[in-house]
Structure 1
Amino acid sequence: MSEDEKTPAREVITEYAQAHFRYFRTTEGTVYAQRIGHPVARPIRSQGTTGSHRQELMVDLFNDGVGVFNGTSMKEALDLIEALALSQDVQPTHIRVAPGFDGATWLDLGRDDGQSVRIHPTGWTIAVPDPREVCWRRTQLTGELPMPARDTEGKGIDRLLRLTNFATAETESLALAWLVGCLEPSVPVPAPFLTGPQGAGKSTAGRMLLRIIEGMTGDLRRAPKDEESLITAVAAGWITALDNLSHLAPDLSDLMCCVVTGAESIKRALFSDGDVYRSRYRRPLLLTGIDVGVIRPDLAERLLTLRLERPKVRRTEAELWAEFGEALPVILGSLLDLTVTVRAAQAETPTDLRMADFAHLCAQFDTATGFGTLPSYRSSLDDLNDDVIEGDLLAQTVLKHAATLEPDTPARRASSEWLHLLTGLYSGEECRPLPKGWPTTGKVLSDRLKRLQPTLAARAVLIDWGRTREGRYIEMTRRPPRPDHEQDTLH
């Protein structure tokens, strides 16, 4: 055969690739390759040293006797495939947890054969998902989970709680509700903050909660130093666990709020002038530490305090993790059974809490188990509100002044007038110096009060803003205390 009659290598590669792989794009414009009949997808532009689609394609071409091709031919073929895929239907990819058809969700077990867990209110099964229903994306942090055990009768939950040192039964139920929430991709869940005295096993308990869903390779990480580092960590797995936090800078606090409830990051694409790369994320967070200092009000609404106590009997790391590894299939099976039961339960959605989806899940959890998870969640938020107030002198001063107001009688002043009043109230007759960070203008005061508004409302002090012909004003109202029977009805 003459050179002119030979099929160009790029055409051979392209024809083979399209016969053995399905190519599609995501809403971000990234093109993925998915082996026919297999749910795992890989970006065709992956530069990773292992597991890239380029390597996958090269190995298949060699094993099937098609040939070995040089880099130029492979690049030209992948360029053509990428261009063709941009006209295909859009489909999202998922890490570890994904929504499915008919109200089901899927849990990726990280196995080479693609077997996953389908969770539905009627039960859970092991199956390979239809590639058009679920496309798994895996990274080096995607560990393999064991096959969950059947018919555990809740024994796995008991074994998990024996291995951890949660202080109360209420804390245990909140931890279990959070794990159930992590298996529902459409439900934003608050970030559990595992806290307690030194030696209470906070890091160990955090690793156990993490590894139930992320596998035995999952581990805690140090707090990132900037936004890009946190987004990179969040994009690499389903649960991001940060260990031994001692301080939350304002920027990190704001980023955590975005991760919990969802946000989008846009940055310039590499080697381009005008193109951009979009990254959408909403992931479960897990934090551990003795104390993180001052908590900002918006983060407090997204936290879930889980307190631990020091164990009475110490065990070696080897013994502890050997027992956990042996119990993990049973723990996972019991968690799946519990998830099915909770999803099938009917409950009203509380309308007074910021994380309404998680509050509804807590109500379902209580209906299914008889526990008091929702009251425990409310109590946890009350404790966090106390922490916010104790760490904010402005909030304390506002509450001090509000205590002098007549109930249900609004007090209106311009922001500068409120600043003068509150500054004088804090300084007192002894004219003590103002603390660092005290508002210096009416605008700064107004912005601070907007952040504190939910915290103050939880203490029956309502802050509102309005305008008259004379100008803008801030209104403060103290609600009268509710009768005990009404509080019981609400809670």
Structure 2
Amino acid sequence: MSDDEKNPAREVITNYAQSHFRYFRTADGTVYAQKNGHPVARPIRSQGTTGSHRQELMVGLYRDGHGVFNGTALKEALDLIEALALTEDVQPVHIRVAPGFDGATWLDLGRTDGQSVRIHPTGWDIAIPDPREVCWRRTQLTGELPLPVKDTDGKGIDLLLRLCNFAGAETECLAIAWLIGCLGPSVPVPAPFLTGPQGAGKSTGGRMLVRIIEGMSGDLRRAPKDEENLIAAVAAGWVTALDNLSHMTPDLSDAMCCIVTGAENVKRALYTDGDVVRARYRRPMLLTGIDVGVIRPDLAERLLPLRMERPRVRRTEAELWAEYAEALPVILGSLLDLTVKVRAAEAETPTDLRMADFAHLCAQLDAATGLGGLAAYRRSLDDLNDDVIEGDLLAQTVLKHAEAIEPGGEQRMTSTEWLYCLSRLYSGDDMRPLPKGWPTTGKVLSDRLKRLQPTLAARGVLIESGRTSEGRYLEMTHLQTPQPHEEKRMF
């Protein structure tokens, strides 16, 4: 009788699993299995269609001559393995981009052989990462990237810009900066908003940008109807691309702000009363649309408008994407070359912009190439401030009132007094009715002004709150000159 026949099936499975796989846990307690010498890790409880650990364990046992085991034995073995793994060291898993040792970062090419790109201070190369340095997590959204071409001399960037219909050098520069930012696992990047006239190729341009990072299977998708589905889609991939936005609800706007700069979602675990599931996320986003209506100020600071123009010569989809697929290895290689060059450049970090990491990246791009990315980024934010003001009647009324204050002067009132003053100014002598959404109390007005504070400060109107023995107040200061590039005090 063989040793396998003497041992219970669960022991055979457990011994085989521990000799062929490495098991570890993440910070949220999820246990992952990683085949020896391979960087891809799978949660042992996953039933996903991309291949679960249970499936690869069954296949390994069968191919190595141990036979086929029933579900009870597999479950008991995996229960024991999961319990043992909870005592192991904590290690994170990553989708598409990950930090490495010695200042390096990794890009997952999505290949079955595990080959990835290691971007280090002196260059980049293709290698299979040490499983203890990087653990990749794969989902249905993890597409395969081609092996990038070395020593392209910037040819790939030129090919990309020729295929896309960007309106001007400034837009091209910002698109390149965003792509470089997507290769940084710790750099929050603003969400590009591809806009332009009908037929300008916004969706096509968005797909081209996304597929440089996500592979030819990457695509745009419609915005989910609720935040929970949006977060699930975000967690399963690296770049989240939403197509043809025509309206943006306050809830969707707030969710996008959290996705761009990072947040955590906590919800009750299924089939439990006390356990919770934690999901941390910070992902690059990309949006397309002609007009999304009123943009909230907090989202405006996290957007990157990319203007598109109608192409002079139309091409068939088949012809366009065949050329793109052929050029993708060169495009990716050129992007990696430029990323190494930009990261090595030294530049000061602008302290007046909310997305300071991206502003610093633009400054590094300028130092490495002289493209003028930081100035272009500042001008794009000024344009977005104009969009916010044009869509907000309260902001327009505040700026109109500030014109009556002498430059350098200030005016202090309670929030209720400010509400009465601004409402009378809007209504005018003809007493026109206040618009829908106009503040109804001093507290609502104060909260609205908090959101508008950065936008108003960029136009030379500073609003601060304070308290005296008589109560709270709001103070409006008309700056002598608008100073959008200086530090601004917040509420």
TM-score using structure 1 length: 0.97
CA contact (8 A) 2:24 2:86 kept: yes
Aligned residue number for residue 449 of structure 1: 449
Decide whether the 8 Å contact of 2:245 with 2:291 is kept in 1: yes
Residue aligning to 1:366: 366
| Residue in structure 1 matched with residue 383 of structure 2 by the alignment | 383
1:139-288 equivalences in 2 (<5 Å): 139-288=139-288
Please list the CA deviations of residues 195-231 of structure 1 after superposition, one character each: whole Å capped at 9, or x if unmatched.
Answer: 0000000000000000001000000000111011100
Q: Does 1:27 align with 2:27?
A: yes
Partner of 2:290: 290
1:407-426 superposed matches below 5 A: 407-426=407-426
- Structure 2 contact 352–485 (Cα < 8 Å) conserved: no
Stretches (4+) displaced over 2 A: 1-5, 406-410, 486-490
Paired amino acid for 1:373: G
Measured after TM superposition, the shift of residue 407 of structure 1 is 2.4
1:22 counterpart SS class: strand
Give the superposition deviation at 1:177.
0.3
Separation of aligned partners in 1, 2:327 and 2:58: 40
Aligned mates of 1:34, 1:402 — CA distance in 2: 62
- 1:300: which partner in 2? 300
Code of the residue aligned with 1:128 in structure 2: it is I
Tell me if structure 1 keeps the 8 A contact 2:352–2:486. Answer: no
CA distance in 2, matches of 1:150, 1:353: 35
Distance 1:406 1:17, change over 3 A: same
Q: Verify the 8 A CA contact 2:50 2:138 in the aligned structure 1.
A: no
1:403 maps to 403
SS of aligned partner of 1:338:
helix
SS in 1 for 2:102: helix
Letter of the aligned partner of 1:356 in structure 2? A
- Measured at CA, do residues 243 and 352 of structure 1 come closer, stay the same or move farther in structure 2, by a change above 3 Å? same
* Contact 2:220/2:241 (8 A) holds in 1: yes
* Structure-1 residue corresponding to 2:132: 132
The answer to whether the 8 A contact 2:190-2:358 is kept is: yes
Q: Which runs of 5+ in 1 are unaligned?
A: none
In the other structure, the counterpart of 2:112 is 112
Cα distance in 1, alignment partners of residues 56 and 167 from structure 2: 49
Paired AA for residue 229 in structure 1: N
Cα shift at 1:406: 2.2
| CA deviation after TM superposition for structure 1 residue 409, in Å | 2.5
DSSP-derived class of the 1:75 partner? helix
The alpha-carbon deviation at position 36 of structure 1 amounts to 1.0
For the residues of structure 1 that align with 2:49 and 2:11, how far apart are their CA atoms? 25
Residue deviations 1:92-113 (CA, integer Å, cap 9, x gap):
1000000111111000000111
Shift of 1:29: 1.1
1:458 corresponding residue in structure 2 = 458
The number of aligned residues is 487
Alpha-carbon distance between aligned partners in 1 of 2:141 and 2:229, rounded to the nearest angstrom? 15
Cα 1:159–1:379 change in 2 (3 A) is same
1:260 and 1:59 map into 2 onto residues whose CA distance is: 40
- Describe how 1:8-87 pairs up with structure 2 within 5 A: 8-87=8-87
Q: Distance in 2 between matches of 1:190 and 1:49?
A: 32
Q: Distance in 2 between matches of 1:233 and 1:303?
A: 20
Change (3 A) 1:95 1:50: closer
Q: Secondary structure, in 3 states, of the residue corresponding to 1:101?
A: coil
Deviation at 1:405, TM superposition (A): 1.0
Classify 1:352/1:489 alpha carbon distance in 2 versus 1 (closer, same or farther; 3 Å). closer
User: Shift in Å at residue 489 of structure 1?
Assistant: 11
Letter paired with 1:42: R
Q: Contact conserved, 2:459 with 2:484, CA < 8 A, in 1?
A: no
C-alpha distance in 1 between matches for 2:176 and 2:468: 50
Q: What is the DSSP-based 3-state SS (H/G/I as helix, E as strand, rest coil) of the residue aligned with 1:475?
A: strand
**Structure-1 residue corresponding to 2:353:** 353
Which whole-Å CA distance do the structure 1 matches of 2:484 and 2:216 have between them? 44
Q: Is the 8 A contact 2:97 2:184 kept in 1?
A: yes
Query: How many Å apart are 1:3 and its aligned residue?
Result: 12
Question: How far is 1:66 from its partner?
Answer: 1.6
SS of the residue corresponding to residue 103 of structure 1 reads coil
Please report how far the alpha carbon of residue 411 of structure 1 lies from its aligned counterpart in structure 2 after TM superposition.
1.2
TM-score, with structure 2 as normaliser: 0.97
Contact 2:50–2:139 under 8 Å retained in 1 = no
Secondary structure in structure 2 of the residue aligned to 1:283: coil
State how far apart, in whole Å, the 2-side matches of 1:464 and 1:24 are: 51
- Structure 2 unaligned segments of length 5 or more: list them: none
Cα 1:489/1:232, change in 2 over 3 Å? closer
How far 1:408 sits from its partner (Å)? Answer: 2.5
Distance in 1 between residues matched to 2:39 and 2:197, nearest whole Å? 44
Q: Percent identity of the aligned residues? A: 81
CA-CA distance at 1:383 after TM superposition:
0.3
Name the CA distance, whole Å, in 2 between partners of 1:92 and 1:3.
Answer: 37
Instruction: Single out whichever of 420-429 and 42-51 deviates more from structure 2.
Output: 42-51
Q: Name the SS of the counterpart of 2:343 in structure 1.
A: helix
Tell me the CA shift for residue 28 of structure 1: 1.2
Encode CA deviations 1:318-344: one digit per residue, 9 max, x unaligned.
000000000000000000000000000
For 2:139 and 2:435, locate their aligned partners in 1 and report how far apart those are by CA, in whole Å. 47
Counterparts of 2:443 and 2:13 in 1: how far apart (Å)? Answer: 64
Q: What is the Cα deviation at residue 49 of structure 1?
A: 3.7
CA pair 50-362 structure 1, distance change in 2 beyond 3 A: closer
Rounded Cα–Cα distance in structure 2 between residues aligned with 1:84 and 1:462: 58
CA offset at residue 153 of structure 1? 0.6
Partner of 1:102, secondary structure, is: coil
Does the 8 A contact of 2:10 with 2:73 survive in 1? yes
Does the C-alpha gap of structure 1 residues 488 and 138 become closer, same or farther in structure 2, counting only changes over 3 Å? closer
Specify the SS of the correspondent of 2:313: coil
Classify the secondary structure of the residue corresponding to 1:93.
coil
> What amino acid maps onto 2:68 in structure 1?
V
Counterparts of 1:420 and 1:14, CA distance in 2: 74
Question: Any idea what SS the aligned residue of 2:475 has?
Answer: strand
